[in-house]
Amino acid sequence: MNGRINQALNTQIHMELESSYLYLALSAYYDSKDLPGFAHWMREQSREEYGHAMRLFDYLLTRGAKVDLDTLGKPADGFTSPVIAFERVVAHEKRVTEAIHKLYLLALEEGDLATGVELQWFIQEQVEEEKSVSEVAAQLRWGNGEPMGLLMVDRDLAKRE
Ligand code: MG
């Protein structure tokens, strides 16, 4: 595997692990606000992000490329409200989508078609991620941060498998 692609994939593994860490921090935050549905949803999301990192990790190993894990930064904290914290999630997923699109374009530019195919799964996954988080954010905006609105969304999020 070409060095640029190898490095970029390691950077993406790092981003997925930091995403996992961010969602874990958010899970604890929502739990502290007595919103168990949100806390559950964030914990599942954290697990899913870890899965994304492992998918790329395994891909590098399969290709005989180098895995180069980096330091994880302290995740964001100081969330000011349950609604604002969720807006951060939407912004975060948009950044992840951008990073994956750039990575895909790099793979094509370098003629690494196998990596391109691998990344197509991630491109589709981001469409789903953005859809689900945008829907929740929209419901929260409707609820205007009122307790009843929050509790209804919380009950919904508790159902995530
Ligand atoms: Mg991800």
Task: Give tens-digit pLDDT for 21-43.
Answer: 999 999 999 999 999 999 999 99
Note residues around ion ligand 1 (Cβ under 5 angstroms): 16, 49, 52
Domain range for 34 is: 3-72+80-157
Q: What is the pTM of this model?
A: 0.94
Distance, CA 14 to ligand 1 centroid (Å)? Answer: 10
Distance, CA 107 to ligand 1 centroid (Å)? Answer: 18
Distance, CA 108 to ligand 1 centroid (Å)? Answer: 21
Q: Domain containing 142 — which CATH number?
A: 1.20.1260.10
Mean pLDDT of the chain: 95
Say how many domains are in the chain: 1
Interior/surface letters 39-55, b for 16+ CB within 10 angstroms, e for the rest: bbbbbebbebbbebbee
